[in-house]
Amino acid sequence: MELFWTIVFGLLFFGLLMASVALHEVGHLLPAKLFGVRVPQYFVGFGRTLWSIRRGETEYGVKLFPLGGFVRLLGMYPPTRPGARQTWLQRFADDARGYEWDEVRPGDVEGNRLFYQKKTYQKLIIMAGGITVNLILAFLLFWGVTGLHGTWREQPVVRSIQQCVITEQREDMACRPSDPLTPAAQAGLTEGDRILSFNGAPIAEYADLTELIRANLDRPATLVVERGGQQVTLPTVNTRVTGVRDTLDPSRVIPAGWLGVVPVMEKEYGGPVDVLQDMGQMAAQSVVALAQFPVKVFHVIADMVTGQPRDVYSPISIFGASSLAGQAAVQEAPIADRAAMFASLLGSINLFLALFNLVPLPPLDGGHILGALWEWVRRTAARLAGRPDPGPVDTAKMVPVAYAVGGFLLLCGIALIVADIVSPVKIF
């Protein structure tokens, strides 16, 4: 029965992901129509068409492979510049342009209905629309979790301390007289102490304390705590250097200072500012993950081929995310906690999709945004220098890059789906 519900909730999560993709494309569709761009197609999925319907000049539908979506905006590629030199790249660009321009009618050009004819701010709004939708969805999901359910956060209050440092692997992990005391034990920290400052720096949140301890390495540390309603300055001790997970890249272990404190966890309810702060931290982690994406995918493939266990911090496919969401939904926990985990995972993926689409390479939205900005820079520089308008940037010449990037992402997606089946990430 548990397997049945895991599959059901996994499929539900997959459906919600596809809804997020569909709304991402709506983020392009609506401003494009608002600014008068002709939109021939709006589809969720790729491959053979399963269902479609025409409303006005736009065909809406669903395709066979639900791994994304697209909106066709007519006139993405400007006409060939007169006298352009016929290099292989120019011929390649003209072939791609010809496919699109077969559908262009005289009225489209005269009516200013082609994408390349639009003003820079209009192009930016159209191309950033999908990213904006994903950011709004992520914000609303996280706000729902933080505001209605609450989020468990570490507090700068001592729940317990580790008494000794065990530097060797052994069956009995109890402290022995020969084991050195932890810095927390040496300083005399006790349960219930609220840490007010670390080496004179005030502590408002546990994250502040963590950052200071890590940066302190093995140098002296003086803590001031609130104990029994009074401020107490504890004896100065040296923190120890140990291996900890990097804040921005949890897959990497780095040397950092360590105290030996286990903090109190409390459920906190927050508002939009708290959500934005959390999203900022997650965005920083996602940027690091994106920069390492090709290398991490290679390691996933290598580990799968060699039979090595899957790194829990490795990238996953849509299939893998849906599987994890299904498993989260059937865990032995209160329904509210499971729903919050489900919503948080969906919010995290929407945030990642937004950042992923900001990568300045075609066919991603960021590539088109970069093209619009470069066109604006060229035209502005020409106007200031008193030169003729250089005209629109020939984005058709970036088609080979779009094919290369698209092919790479397709191969990565297939590899991750296979890995998620053969060697799935195990969190639960």
The residues carrying an active-site annotation are: 25
Alpha-carbon Rg for the chain in angstroms: 27
Q: How far apart are CA 205 and CA 116, in angstroms?
A: 50
Q: Find how far residue 164's CA is from the centre of its chain.
A: 38
Distances (CA, A) of 301 to 193, 294, 339, 414: 47, 11, 32, 11
Distances (CA, A) of 356 to 117, 278, 367: 27, 18, 11
Phi and psi at residue 69, to the nearest 5°: -175, 175
Q: How far apart are CA 392 and CA 115, in angstroms?
A: 11
Residue carrying the six token digits 């100065």: 236
| H helix intervals, 145-265 | 183-187, 206-216
Residue among 200, 188, 191 nearest 235 (CA): 188
Residue 127's contacts (CB-CB under 8 Å, 6 or more residues apart) are 28, 365, 368, 369, 372
